[in-house]
Structure 1
């Protein structure tokens, strides 16, 4: 029963995402994404509801450092009755370097997903987005991470 419900929800998302509604209210945005990974964020729409979201980010503490370039393909959909608010989903990948204290560095590769909300303020060149990004790490070790939640603050143009 759970598998059937999951299948129906997934099919519904693809059908909704396949609509070519006039979703976005800006073409490009640049700013920062704050969360477990902090860095520079750039989003550009390819058409009315499809976008590329690029991040150059870093995460470090006393034990490790990680530097990542992440690229995501996103499908945006409006939320009825909420002008300027979109929900989105998508996927992509990350490549970067990973260094653990007292060990050699290594290449980092992952397959990433994304699910989030995007809000463009009316009359102001400001965009906010909050999203969840689960990650399947492929190297240096295979590991599924439940992902991180981050906030993007961007200027639109």
Structure 2
């Protein structure tokens, strides 16, 4: 029984070590990360890598303009991460997705409307070596579909996440 337990532990350890080595060889130093996003709209971000270069990024954000409006949005992005030569831990990425949320107008008796958007993203992603910290700096423009059609180019943000 003791030998079977040691064999199980050894195989498990080798399997985990092999997966970590494979992920690092492919340039992916983390699989998941959660943290804050700060910029024009502040919120929470969760990034999950589906393979070594493609990730899903979910953002819940809040934005308010004093005495005009406030928004609450959920955005889902599909991102493609590519390495930058001679810069370990640093990658650039691009992608796209969509958002849904609510606009609350502070004038007009607090009327609310559903907000839909088509979102893009272009940025830099850095994983600190030896620490479970990830940081991203990006531009996330959006084509607003409702309540009004327009282009929002103000989507600059800094995300700081706990990577695991």
TM-score computed with the length of structure 1 as normaliser: 0.85
In the alignment, structure 1 residue 87 sits paired with structure 2 residue 92: yes
CA contact (8 A) 2:40 2:154 kept: no
In the alignment, structure 1 residue 136 sits paired with structure 2 residue 150: no
Aligned-partner Cα distance in 1 for 2:26–2:154: 29
Where do 5+ consecutive residues of structure 2 fail to align?
1-24
Which of structures 1 and 2 has the bigger CA Rg? 2
How many residues align? The count is 137
Deviations 1:62-114 (A, max 9, x none): 21010000100000000000000000000001100001122310000000000
Q: Could you say what secondary structure the match of 2:107 adopts? A: coil
What's 1:13 paired with? Answer: none
Tell me by how many angstroms 1:23 deviates.
3.3
In the alignment, structure 1 residue 41 sits paired with structure 2 residue 45: yes
Aligned-partner Cα distance in 2 for 1:147–1:71: 18
CA contact (8 A) 1:23 1:76 kept: no
Aligned-partner Cα distance in 1 for 2:162–2:96: 23
Q: Which moved more, 1:125-134 or 1:98-107?
A: 98-107
